[in-house]
Structures are given as structure tokens and as C-alpha cells.
Amino acid sequence: MPHLIQRLTILGTGLIGGSFALALKKYTADIFIHGWDRSNAANEAFGRRIIDRASSGSVKDAVAEADLIYISLPIGATLDILTEVAKFAPRHALVTDACSTKLRITQEAAALFPGGDCPLFLGGHPMAGKELSGIGAADGDLFRDHPYALITEPYSDAALIATAADAAAVADATAAESSFAVAPKIPTESLPPQKKHGPESDARVAAFVKILEQIGARPLWIGAQQHDYAVGLASHLPQLAAVALASFLYDRLDENGLPITLAGPGLRDSLRLAGSSYTLWRDIVLTNQEILAASLELFARHIDELRERLASRDLEADFDAANELYRLLKGIQ
């Protein structure tokens, strides 16, 4: 029986789209890859033999024969193009995205991809990347040994709003009751039960999951709201913390380059994310700003508490917690 996914269209041949194409070339066989992007980007990907066909014109023509449509564009561009993709995607096609926030995308997609005898949309987010962008930074092993979030069938808007409100209430209560600013946890008891027949049961999704496993990714099913909460803390907050520290130090450079002329590798390791592009992060921040605002507030309180403990042995507890989290991260990577 032929594989369900034999023809792939990648909309956006930058770091993620290019890396996905390279991974398929390296770890799978017999998948024809059509790359669509600005003419210079698509032609570069074709010239590097990362894709089998390049185009930069009609989206209709780009997706017309695709079994899988992989959207690896910035969030704003993805939202802009979804209507056109939904209109012209073949009925048998699976459409997925690689955006860093999921709630806004899945809400838009729910209206455009109603199910039935229509293309199927599956929200996705590879938890892998670099501070660099563009096809030149693409890597066929970018996804290997990293989680790849796949979004389960979304709850109703009312349930999502209630969940967000409950999470905010827990954050306020936690901050009020404890001297430590602990990140809020999304309460699970108020969530409606998940449906038994979500996208996980579709044969097209199973074929895509198989591809993810072949390229070394670790598929992980999660709700859109849970995803945006988790990445807000584990990915987006570290990015903003790196930006804050780097801009803080930049504003204090003297004519001799101090203090960074005395910086060791520790500062470079801490500030790797500071090399990321604002153009990429603008849409991420805008579509997850409530979670980020709450996270930054709690983090700022924790910084204040660290300052108060500078002359106390209580600071040891923070180092112990940091060391334990570091060990946990090493264990799952």
C-alpha cells in the first residue's frame, strides 16, 4: 500500500521549513518536496537541492497536488495565508503549521477547516530551533531528539477562556500566599473531558506522526492553551530574559568595552538567545502576551526576592532549585 504522504508542499523555506525538507531527504524516501516562498528564498533552497521544485507565485498552484501542506511561516503570515490554503488544498490533504503559539492559529483553523470531506488541519510546533534564521541555517537533524508538539482537538472558546481565567487566579493566589513567586499551574479539574475521536485517530495524522518519528522528533499531544502556557514559561520567557540582560549590559558598555571585555563563555551561553530576530519574535509575543505578562511579573518578583537574599544563606535554596532543574533538563534532552 503506498504511503499516504508522497507529495509535500512547504510554505516557507527558511530555518524550519528548510530543516524539515533536509530531514525528509536524509531519513525518508520517495517524498516529492515542493517549496514555496519569496523567489530568492525558494530558488536558493532549490539550488541547494533541499527541495525538488520551487515556486513563489500562486498558492493555489503550490498546494494543488499536495498530500501534506507544511506551513513554516511567521505567525502573522500563517494567519494571512490560512484562508487561501483552506480554499485550494486538496480534500485529502493534511495541513499543518509550525508556529510557536497555537491558540490563535487553531481558533482560526477551526473555522476554515470544518472537517468532513475537507482538508484536515493539525496544529504543530517543533520544539527546536536556532538563534539564526533562513535556509542557510537549515539542518536535517534540527528536530532529532526534540519534542514536537501536536495539538489535540480544541475545546470550546468558553472553556479556553475559563481555563485562562483560572490560571490567572491561581497565579495571583500563589503570589499572595508564598514568599516565592511560583509559576501558575493550569487547573485540570475545570477542563471538559477530551473527545475520544480527535485528530489523533485520522490516518493522515498517523502518517505524519510516522514521518516525525522517522526524522527523530518526539511527538507530544497537548492542548493549545496548555501549549501556549508551557512555551510561555519554558521558551518565550527565557528569550525575553536574554534580551533584557543583553540590552542591560549593552547600555552599560564603556569606551573600553567593559564589562563584556572580561566576559567568559558563561555569558555567551546565557545570551545565545539574544541573537534572535525581533521580526520572528514580534508575532510570538503579540499572540501570547497575556501569559508572558503574567510570567514576567512573577519572574520580576523572584528577582526582587533574590536581591533581598543576597546576604543570606537563604540564597542557597535558589541555587539548589536551579541545580535540580538543570539536572532534569539534562535528563530529558
Q: In 3-state terms, what secondary structure has residue 294?
A: helix
Q: Are residues 111 and 176 in the same domain?
A: no
Asked if pLDDT for residue 158 goes beyond 90, the answer is no
pLDDT class of 197 with cuts at 50, 70, 90:
low
C-alpha cell at position 181: 513567586
* pLDDT tens digits, one per residue of 26-50: 999 999 999 999 999 999 999 999 9
Give the chain's domain count.
2
- Going by pLDDT thresholds of 50, 70 and 90, the confidence category of residue 182 is very low
261 and 117 within one domain: no
Outline where 29-156 has alpha helix (H): 39-47, 59-63, 75-88, 103-112
Would you say residue 129 lies in a domain? yes
CA–CA gap between residue 46 and residue 210 (Å, rounded): 25
99 found inside a domain: yes
Decide the pairing of beta strands 7-11 and 32-36.
parallel
127 and 49 in one domain?
yes
pLDDT at 333: 65
Report yes or no on 321 lying in a domain.
Answer: yes
In angstroms, how far is CA 8 from the centroid of its own chain?
Answer: 21
Angle at 72 between CA 201 and CA 290, to 5 degrees: 85
Residue 31 lies in a domain: yes
Provide the CATH number for the domain around residue 64.
Answer: 3.40.50.720
Task: Give me the percent of the chain exceeding a pLDDT of 90.
Answer: 78
Q: Is the pLDDT of residue 134 over 80?
A: yes
| Domain co-membership, 205 together with 60 | yes
Q: Are residue 85 and residue 175 in the same domain, yes or no?
A: no
Do 164 and 44 have their domain in common?
no
Does 86 share its domain with 106?
yes
Q: What is the CATH number of the domain that holds 252?
A: 1.10.3660.10
**306 is in which domain, residue-wise?**
159-183+228-332
Shared-domain flag, residues 99 and 214 = yes
